[in-house]
């Protein structure tokens, strides 16, 4: 069991601020690395999985509120 908070429900953006999708599941793989499963906004590529060290936590302004994102 991990004590690292899992970011389900957080949005994922590119460095340019374009929405990629939302994290639907975060888990520890059989190799011991934290993996995030992302449901994307693209029809051609509906899901992807990335190692969580590739995601950089950030805060963005959205609809007048500050939101935590990756």
44 phi and psi, to 5 degrees?
A: -70, -20
**Cα separation, 5 vs 1, whole angstroms:** 11
Please determine, for residue 2, whether its predicted confidence score (pLDDT) is greater than 60: no
Q: What is the pLDDT of residues 26-51, one digit of tens each?
A: 999 999 998 999 999 999 999 999 99
- Predicted local confidence at residue 60, as pLDDT: 82
Q: What is the pTM of this model?
A: 0.78
Nearest to 28 by CA among 49, 56, 14, 55: 49
User: In this model, does residue 69 exceed pLDDT 70?
Assistant: yes
Where do the domains of the chain lie?
A: 11-69
Whether the Cβ atoms of residue 55 and residue 70 lie closer than 8 Å to each other: yes
């Amino acid at each position: 069991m991990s004590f690292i908070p899992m970011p389900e429900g957080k949005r994922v953006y590119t460095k340019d601020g374009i929405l990629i999708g939302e994290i639907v599941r975060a888990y520890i793989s059989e190799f011991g690395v934290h993996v995030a499963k992302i449901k994307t906004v693209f029809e051609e590529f509906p899901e992807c999985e990335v190692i969580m060290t590739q995601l950089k936590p950030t805060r963005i302004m959205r609809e007048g509120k500050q939101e935590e994102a990756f």
